[in-house]
Structure 1
Amino acid sequence: MKVFQAIEQRRAVRHYQSDIEMPEQDFTQLMSAVLLSPTSYNIQHWRFIRVTDKAHREKIKAAAWGQDQVSEASELIILCADINAWNDRPQRYVANSPKETQDMLLPMISAFYSNKEQLQRDETMRSCGMAAQTLMLAAKGLGYDTCPMIGFDREALARLIRLPQGHVIGMMIAIGKAKTPAHPRGGQLPLNEVLWENHF
């Protein structure tokens, strides 16, 4: 599928064929694409939980206020992020760069994020957002539908997945084959309401 087709056809699908399993090859291809998503300084804050246990899915569904896609979809991915990834062995993020690049970037990473808690958290959300969009478009390219979700009790979900300290939950994404089509688009704002040139 062409990129623009995938963008146009990607919709938030809420009901899935519960008897469809995603082949492991498709899952590997999907996640390999996600790992190519951009992050600031190549920090790769994201941490993914693939929920495969059906009983666990039911508990997560309860934390998501009974939304069917949690249990029906072929795959359920919880996108989390490590807020402190910027300070966790940062040499990993530049390991394939020339030494002069490493010598420049490593102090920059530290100076940019040190003592800036809001920026650290904001960066994890940006990283999760870019990974999520890559995941959804790659899934569409493979013939799957998706549903990004923020409708859940965050504290309950954090307990269920044993979220480590210093980590946050960005969203969940259900992936599978649609049982019923998505509702028509609610209405896109025209470009002239959202685009300015040079300044507001």
Structure 2
Amino acid sequence: MDTLKAIEERRSVKSYDPEHQMTQEEIDKLLSYTMLSPTAFNIQHWRFLVVQDPELRQKIREASWNQAQVTDASLLVVLCADLKAWKKDPDRYWRNAPEPVQQALVPMILNYYQDNAEAERDEALRSCGMAAQTMMLVAKEMGYDTCPMDGFDFDKVGELINLPEDYLISMFIVVGKAVRPANERAGQLPLEEVVIYDRFE
């Protein structure tokens, strides 16, 4: 599918065929392409928790105000961020770069994140946001629909998935075969309202 067409046709779908299953090959393809997303310092903070246990998905649905797409979609991905990824063997993030680049960037990572909790959180969430959009566009190209979700009890879901202490949940992405299309776009703002050149007045 053409990229621009995928962007136009990507919608947040709420109703999915609960009988449809994705193959492992499809899941691997979706996640492999998602991992090509840009990320701060190439740290790849994202962790993709794929929930396959039906009982666990039901409990997560209950923690999501009983939204049906949590269990009915073919795939539920809890998109998490490892806040301490920056200090977990950071050499590996630049191992294929020329030596001068490695020598410059690895210390830069450590200097930037050390004692900077705000940067840890902000950069991790930005990276997760870019990965989420990539995932939804790849899914559309593969013939699937998606919905990004933050309508759930973050603390409760964290308990259910045994979220590590230094991780946070960014959002859910559900992926599957729509049984009802999304409604028409409710109201896009005009370009001139959202695009500002040079500076705000």
Q: Which interval holds the TM-score relative to the shorter structure?
A: over 0.9
- Partners of 1:171 and 1:142 in 2: how far apart? 21
Determine the C-alpha separation between the residues in 1 that align with 2:83 and 2:186.
34
> What is aligned with 2:139?
139
2:73 — aligned with what? 73
Alignment-derived partner of residue 95 in structure 2:
95
Tell me how far 1:116 sits from its aligned partner: 1.2
Q: Deviations over 1:117-149 (max 9, x none)?
A: 111100110011000000000000000000100
Determine the C-alpha separation between the residues in 1 that align with 2:81 and 2:72: 25
* 1:12-161 matched pairs, under 5 angstroms: 12-161=12-161
SS at match of 1:169: strand
Q: CA deviation at 1:24?
A: 1.7
Q: CA deviation at 1:8?
A: 0.3
**Alignment correspondent of 2:169:** 169
Cα displacement string for residues 62-117 of structure 1 (whole angstroms, at most 9, x for unaligned residues): 00010000010000000000011111110010011111111010111111111111
- Structure 2 equivalent of residue 10 of structure 1: 10
* Structure 2, unpaired ranges of 5+: none
CA drift at 1:186: 1.4
What letter matches 1:68 in structure 2? A
Count residues in correspondence: 200
Q: TM-score, normalised by structure 2?
A: 0.98
Task: Please provide the CA RMSD for this pair.
Answer: 0.7
Whole-Å separation in 2 of the counterparts to 1:29 and 1:48: 13
1:182 and 2:182 are equivalent in the alignment: yes
Partner Cα separation in structure 2 for residue 48 and residue 23 of structure 1: 17
In structure 2, give the amino acid aligned to 1:52: Q
Q: Is 1:191–2:152 an aligned residue pair? A: no
How far, CA to CA, are the matches of 1:30 and 1:12 in structure 2?
17
TM-score (structure 1 length as normaliser): 0.98
**Counterpart residue identity of residue 60, structure 1:** I
- Displacement of 1:23 in angstroms is 1.7
Give me the identity figure in percent: 50
Q: Specify the SS of the correspondent of 2:151.
A: coil
Q: Quote how far apart the aligned CAs of 1:61 are.
A: 0.1
C-alpha distance in structure 2 between counterparts of 1:114 and 1:198, whole Å: 33
After TM superposition, where is structure 1 displaced by more than 2 Å over at least 4 residues in a row?
A: none
Residue type matched to 1:164 in 2?
Answer: P
